[in-house]
Amino acid sequence: MTDSELDAQLRAMRVPERDADYWDWFPRRVVAEVRAGVPSRPERPAAIRLLSRVAWAGGFAVFAALAAFCVQSPQHCPLRVVVASVESVVRFPADLAQLPQHVSAVMRVDRGLGALVEEQP
C-alpha cells in the first residue's frame, strides 16, 4: 500500500460521533496522557543494569591495581613503560636517519644468520 492509497482510505473513513466538548478537550487530554504515561527515562532491564555496574567496578579495580603497582614498584610502572615505548617510537626515524653516518660496513657472516656492523674509527 502506498502513502497515497493510505491517505485516501483515511480520508474516506467517517469521524466517530462525538460532541463538540470532546473535540475541544482532545488535544489537552492527549498531551496529559503522554506526559503521565511516559517516564522521563526508559527503565533498563535488571541484567543490563547489573552488567554496567560490573563493568564499572571492573574498570575501577583495574585502575586501582595499576595505581598500587605503580606505587609499589615505580621503575616497572606500566605507565612509565608505555611512555618510554612511545618516546622510542617517536625517536626511531631520527635514529634511523643517522644510521648511515655511523656504520662503515655491513657484512654477511658466512656462519649462521646475522650481520656484522662496524663503527667508524
What tens digit of pLDDT does each residue of 56-113 get? 999 999 999 888 888 887 777 777 888 888 999 999 988 888 877 766 555 555 554 4
Residue 8 is which amino acid?
A
Asked if residue 116 and residue 90 are part of one domain, the reply reads yes
- Domain annotation covers residue 15: yes
pTM over 0.85: no
Q: How many domains does the chain have?
A: 2
> Which pLDDT belongs to residue 66?
83
Residue 67, φ and ψ in degrees, nearest 5: -65, -45
Asked if residue 93 and residue 48 are part of one domain, the reply reads no
> Which pLDDT belongs to residue 42?
66
Residue 88 is part of which domain span? 77-121
Asked if residue 81 and residue 47 are part of one domain, the reply reads no
Q: What is the mean pLDDT of the chain?
A: 79
Residue 46, φ and ψ in degrees, nearest 5: -60, -35
- Judge whether residue 33 has pLDDT over 70: yes
Asked if residue 50 and residue 102 are part of one domain, the reply reads no
Domain final residue, candidates 43, 65, 87 = 65
Dig out the grid coordinates for 121 from the structure.
Answer: 674509527
| Distances from the Cα of 38 to the Cα of 27, 32, 109, angstroms | 17, 10, 79
Asked if residue 88 and residue 59 are part of one domain, the reply reads no
> Which pLDDT belongs to residue 55?
94
- Judge whether residue 120 has pLDDT over 50: no
> Which pLDDT belongs to residue 76?
73
Q: Which residue has the higher pLDDT, 39 or 72?
A: 72
